[in-house]
Chain A
Amino acid sequence: MSSLEVQLTAVRGPFQLQARFSAPLPGVVALYGPSGAGKSTLVNAIAGLSAAIGSIRVGGLTWLDSARGIDVPAEHRRIGYVFQDARLFPHLDVRGNLAYGERRARAAPQVIERKEILDLLGLDPLLARRVHQLSGGERQRVALGRALLAQPSLLLLDEPLASIDAARREDVLPYLERLRDAFALPMLYVSHQYEEVLRLATHVVLLQDGRTLASDTPARISREPALRALVGQDGVGAVLDVQVGRVEPSGLASVRVGSGEVRLSHPSAAPGDRLRLHVLARDVIIATEPPHSLSVRNVLAGTLAELVDESAEDVLALVAVGDEQLMARITRAAVAELGLRAGMPVWALVKAASLRGHVYSRPAAIREAGAGADTSTPE
């Protein structure tokens, strides 16, 4: 297992970035943080487009090591960079844009085949088009293809979906999922959209005010107090990476969560698939005794690990279910009435109708991922 190791300082005007993280590769490393956190500065430093001091190592390669005087120029780093605004060359057609990096990467090991990429991204019908005849989604697909044909050892994506309207993002996201799963291509993905991060990332680096706050798997990052402030009240929740057990003929899939089991319906889940569930705190109910006579089917027994003050009215209850942790938003009044305190046994009721899950298969298990639609279970 190789890794991406970054430890650097970059200065841009009055802004100073200090980043330090290590992430396993291959995989999708998401740089997540609010606007102005320094995400683009960090990506540009890794790309070699802006000056930085420190060290950058990708797999066995050293791109930057200021102590030893190593600073590989961007054109020799073999990166693929998909910019927010695509940056296609307007004087070339789509074919010329795709060939630009390809021609200059002849000496590099040819890992990615032209035909595969054209098929994967559906670029064949666009080849003869001029850049100004492309839609936003098509532009980003061409930009992605151009970066990939340069045979990158690391693909950098700086908010590639930000300039596309929400409806068209679905044109591009599934391609990125397939790149992750079918090509096992190391990627660094910059986003301030938590949903995108959850869908793509195998590792998350939290960035705020020019500092890296945390670096871990999405599941463990979801427990970071700093993350809760970033995603906002409606986004707070547990992220669970689970494996699909049985799938009933009716389409209901069972997944293990800690010591319990949750059932949900997913359009394409098959036994053995890995699913990432986002269980929002607002959708979890806490009971102090095993519930009876309720329509909710997903009941998980656990222990109340901690009560965290969230606002004047609300408290966030962290419930340990085996090794996993769920979060539930409850009122202070409920805490007082139920006599909730850390350490007591509780039952977490998950409103399955709101369970969101994305299939993400590990590179080992290549499989056409059914572009992770929202899932719901009839109760």
Chain B
Amino acid sequence: MLTAAELEALRISVIVAGESVAASLPVAVLVAWLLVRGRFAGRTLLDALVHLPLVLPPVVVGYLLLVVFGVRGPLGGWLYATFGVRLAFTTGGAALATAVMSFPLMVRAMRLSLEGVHPGLEEAARTLGAGPVDRFVSVTLPLMAPGILAGAVTAFAAGLGEFGAVITFASNIPGETRTLPLALYTAIQSPDGDSAAARYAGLSLCLGFTGLVAAEFLARRLRARFGP
């Protein structure tokens, strides 16, 4: 079965990916809504900003996070001084780096599904007496649900494998930020780590495959609920 180190890497991977999804989900819903339904001046800029992590080298994202969220950075310094929270070189920091990297994927999926929601349905809700928040919660959100789910699953799967941004911003600390890919990388670096590396790779493969099957299963359930 799995060794203690493997279990720990698996546990940290799941925590990091899970935390990153949980933290970015509400923000991603809001951003997707702004990008599809919003009519404001900076829309194109926001769109570009959201997609930036897709085109930047992950190391650059990690570096920028260090600059901003490091203990001496403007936001990181404030967080540390006010709440005593340190993100750099912690599990939370790994989750933040992962969230930023997988954010475009998440927004993309939600945006696609929101574009498929007929604005006329929100108008219909309006004529039936539903105010802005009410119709968002009772109509828009449930109709976006497949996209939200798809976005969350994709971001979680991608989050399990995030490497560059995590190792730059959160480093490679066993039991703290050493996720599966980082453990695999460490194994490759060590002279006698061949078999360990192969086991980590196999574990990643199984995890990815399970994730895909689960996503497909959930998508089918939702399609059955919403009709063709």
Measured in the bound complex, the distance between the Cα atoms of B64 and A253 in whole Å is: 89
Task: Answer whether A81 and B127 are a contact pair too, CB < 8 Å, given A100-B138, A131-B227.
Answer: yes
Q: Are B127 and A80 in contact (CB under 8 A)?
A: yes
Asked if B226 contacts A90 (CB within 8 A), the reply is: yes
B191 interface residue, CB < 8 Å from A?
Answer: no
Which of B128, B145, B227 contacts A100 (CB under 8 A)? B128
A85 pairs with B120, CB closer than 8 A: yes
Is A89 a contact partner of B121 (Cβ separation < 8 A)?
yes
Encoded as 1 (CB less than 8 Å from any A CB) or 0, chain B from 105 to 144 comes to: 0000000000000101101111111110010001100110
What A residues does B138 contact at CB under 8 A? 100
Q: Is B84 an interface residue (CB 8 A)?
A: no
Taking the closest CB of chain B, its distance from the CB of A107, in whole angstroms, is: 9
A101 at the A/B interface (Cβ < 8 Å)? Answer: yes
> Given contacts A83-B120, A91-B226, A132-B228, is CB(A49)–CB(B129) below 8 Å?
no
- Please tell me if the beta carbons of A83 and B124 are within 8 angstroms of each other in the complex: yes
**Residue A87, interface by CB 8 Å:** yes
CA distance in complex: A167, B204 (Å): 60
**Closest CB-CB distance, A29 to chain B, in whole Å?**
18
Q: Which residues of A contact B143 (CB under 8 A)?
A: 89-91
The answer on a CB contact under 8 Å between B127 and A79 is: yes
Contact of B129 among A87, A101, A133 (CB under 8 A): A101
A104 and B226 in contact (CB under 8 A), knowing A49-B123, A87-B120? no
A100 close to B125 (CB less than 8 A) = yes
Chain A residues positioned under 8 Å from B126 (CB to CB): 49, 73-75
Task: State A73–B134 Cα separation when bound (angstroms).
Answer: 14
User: Which B residue sits closest to A108, measured CB to CB?
Assistant: B129
Interface centre among A76, A90, A91, A147, by most B CB within 10 Å?
A91
* B120 lies within 8 A of A78 (CB): no
Give A189 to B121 CA distance when docked, in angstroms: 20
CA gap between A75 and B138 in the complex, in Å: 14
Rounded to whole angstroms, the CA-CA distance of A131 and B142 in the bound complex is 15
Please tell me if A150 contacts chain B, counting CB pairs below 8 Å: yes
How far apart are B37's CB and chain A's nearest CB, in angstroms? 15
Kindly state whether residue A105 has any CB partner on chain B within 8 Å: yes
A149 to chain B, nearest CB (A): 9
In the bound complex, residues from chain B placing their C-beta under 8 Å from that of A156 are 127
Tell me whether A104 and B128 are in contact in the complex, defined as CB-CB below 8 angstroms, given that A90-B227, A130-B227 are known contacts: yes
Please, which residues of chain A bring their CB within 8 A of the CB of B121? Answer: 87, 89-90
A80: nearest chain-B partner, CB-CB: B127
Give 1 or 0 for each of A67-105: 1 = CB within 8 Å of chain B CB. Answer: 000000111111111010101011100000000110011
Q: Which residues from B are CB-within-8-Å of A101?
A: 128-129
Note all chain B residues with C-beta closer than 8 A to A266.
none
The docked-state distance in angstroms from the alpha carbon of A285 to that of B127 is 50
Set of chain B residues within 8 Å of A89, measured between Cβ atoms: 121, 124-125, 139, 143
Distance of B114 from chain A, by nearest CB (Å): 14
Interface residues of chain B, those whose CB is within 8 Å of chain A, are 118, 120-121, 123-131, 134, 138-139, 142-143, 145, 225-228
